[in-house]
Amino acid sequence: MRAVIQRVKSASVTVEGKVVSEVNKGLLVFLGVAQEDTPADVDYMASKIANLRIFEDDEGLMNLSVLDVGGEALVVSQFTICGDCRKGRRPSFIDAARPEKADPLYQAFMDEISRLGVPVKAGIFQAMMDVELINDGPVTILLDSNKLF
């Protein structure tokens, strides 16, 4: 499971000209599910993201999590971050999970991060979405449950 996590002042998802989800201060999480992912990956990613200390404290140090600041998470399914661009010029998505596997794990991730105390909003699985954000910092973190970057 891979995630691109952005600390945001606000973020929203629009589908067919209609805003379907929006958050204020918090995280925008682009989540990609790989073929080999399991519920253990869901648990790892939800806990890691909920507790990542990427928000500034009173001294300007990144010592606070989204839980600490009372932030929200907007989670957007994005299989393209499972793409492999090492060969040729066109990404290969062979490692991305098929929708019948990816959707339940995407839903489970949102359930788990919510259970941990983070209010969650979502994009629409498999929809063409316009994602708008104001990146705070900017702070962008790459996270993979299966390997280090």
Number of C-alpha atoms within 13 angstroms, CB side, residue 17?
0
Q: Of 30, 55, 79, 109, which one is the catalytic site residue?
A: 79
Active site residue 80: yes
User: 2-15 and 130-144: which strand pairing?
Assistant: antiparallel
For residue 79, indicate whether it is catalytic. yes
**Catalytic pick among 80, 125, 126, 140:** 80
Which of 107-116 are b and which e, b meaning 16 or more Cβ less than 10 Å from the residue's Cβ?
ebbbebbeeb
Report phi then psi at 62, rounded to 5.
Answer: -80, 85
C-alpha Rg value of the chain to the nearest Å = 15
Of residues 132, 135, 134, the one with CA closest to residue 19: 132
What length is written for the chain?
149
Active site residue 38: no
Which residues are identified as catalytic? 78-80
